[in-house]
Amino acid sequence: MARIYVDEDLSPRLAARLRERGHDAVATQDAGRKGASDDDQLLFAAQQRRTLVALNGRDFVLLHDAWLRWSAAWQVSHETGIHAGILVLEPALVGDLTDTVDAHLASSPLLTNQMHRRVRGVWQVRRLGAWTARE
């Protein structure tokens, strides 16, 4: 199962429900990191080898693209210069998001240095500078 870090823009109940499904999930509030900046949240998730799950995709697109560009430019090792993935959910989604996240993690087990977002019920993958349909 996946190691997950749920950003503070989502309910900590999502982490609890994902734990019930066997995932190693931690909410920002559980980690005592409420109020940390998005770049710090991504760094924390990467250091913990956890996939970050969030709503504020616009902020994380910039961070994800910068991460990939700078890692390549600085020739950072693939072992140390990785994040465990970013999943961005639609703000329009309401209710329990557990099924959405759990199903996507089951169908996309390797999210290393990838960013996925759900738009109108369809998952997309961030390629450097652009979104593409998930393969």
Q: What is the pLDDT of residues 12-36, one digit of tens each?
A: 999 999 999 999 999 999 999 999 9
Lowest mean pLDDT among 57-61, 73-77, 120-124, 128-132: 73-77
Which tens digits make up the pLDDT trace of 30-74? 999 999 999 999 999 999 999 999 998 888 999 999 988 888 788
- pLDDT bin (cut points 50, 70, 90) of residue 120 is confident
Q: State the pTM of this model.
A: 0.91
Domain that holds residue 76: 3-133
3-class secondary structure per residue, the chain: CCEEEECCCCCHHHHHHHHHCCCEEEECCCCCCCCCCHHHHHHHHHHCCCEEEECCHHHHHHHHHHHHHHHHHCCCCCCCCCCCCEEECCCCCCCCCHHHHHHHHHHCCCCCCCEEEEECCEEEEEECCEEEECC
Give the rounded distance of the alpha carbon of 57 from its chain centre.
9
How many separate domains does the chain show? 1
H or E segment and range at residue 103: helix 98-107
- State residue 88's pLDDT score: 95
